[in-house]
Amino acid sequence: MNIITISREFGSGGREVGKRLADALGYTYYDREIEEGVAERMKMDTDYVARSIEQGVPMNVPLHFGRTLAGSYLLKQQVDILVEKQRILKELASSTNCVIVGRAADVILADYRPFKIFVYADLAHRLKRCQAYAEIEENLSPRELEREIKKIDARRAQYRRMYLDADWGVRTQYHLCVNTSGIAVKHIIPMLAGYADSWFQHCKAE
Amino acid sequence: MNIITISREFGSGGREVGKRLADALGYTYYDREIEEGVAERMKMDTDYVARSIEQGVPMNVPLHFGRTLAGSYLLKQQVDILVEKQRILKELASSTNCVIVGRAADVILADYRPFKIFVYADLAHRLKRCQAYAEIEENLSPRELEREIKKIDARRAQYRRMYLDADWGVRTQYHLCVNTSGIAVKHIIPMLAGYADSWFQHCKAE
Residues B185-197 have pLDDT tens digits of: 999 999 999 999 9
A198·B188 Cβ contact <8 A: yes
Residues 81-140, chain A, touching B (beta carbon < 8 A): 118, 120, 122
Neighbours of B81 (CB within 10 A): 22
A120·B203 Cβ contact <8 A: no
Which pLDDT does position B163 carry in this prediction? Answer: 63
Of B21, B25, B49, residue with least CA distance to B35: B49
β-bridge partners, A178: A119, B176
Which pLDDT does position A27 carry in this prediction? Answer: 97
CA–CA gap between residue B109 and residue B99 (Å, rounded)? 12
Give the percent of chain B with pLDDT over 90: 39
Of A155, A181, A194, A163, residue with least CA distance to A4: A194
Chain B residue with CA closest to A199: the answer is: B183
Which pLDDT does position B166 carry in this prediction? Answer: 58
For chain B, the straight-line distance linking the first and the last C-alpha, in angstroms and rounded, comes to: 15
Which pLDDT does position A189 carry in this prediction? Answer: 95
Q: Using a cut of 0.80, tell me whether the model's pTM lies above it.
A: yes
Residues B8-66 have pLDDT tens digits of: 998 899 999 999 999 999 999 998 888 898 999 989 888 888 888 776 655 445 555 55
- Report the residue from B181, B194, B206 with minimal CB separation from A190: B194
Are A176 and A186 in contact, with CB atoms under 8 Å apart?
Answer: no
Mean pLDDT of chain B: 84
CA–CA gap between residue A101 and residue B205 (Å, rounded)? 31
| Average pLDDT value for residue range B74-94 | 87
Which pLDDT does position A103 carry in this prediction? Answer: 84
CA–CA gap between residue A104 and residue A166 (Å, rounded)? 12
Are A202 and B184 in contact, with CB atoms under 8 Å apart?
Answer: yes
Which pLDDT does position A171 carry in this prediction? Answer: 85
Residues of chain A scoring pLDDT < 50: 59-60
Query: pLDDT band for position B138 (50/70/90)?
Result: low
Residues A118-145 have pLDDT tens digits of: 999 998 888 888 877 765 556 777 788 8
Chain B residue with CA closest to A172: the answer is: B122
A174·B179 Cβ contact <8 A: yes
For chain A, the straight-line distance linking the first and the last C-alpha, in angstroms and rounded, comes to: 15
Give me the phi and psi of B46, to 5 degrees please: -60, -40
* Sign of CA pseudo-dihedral A193, A195, A196, A201: positive
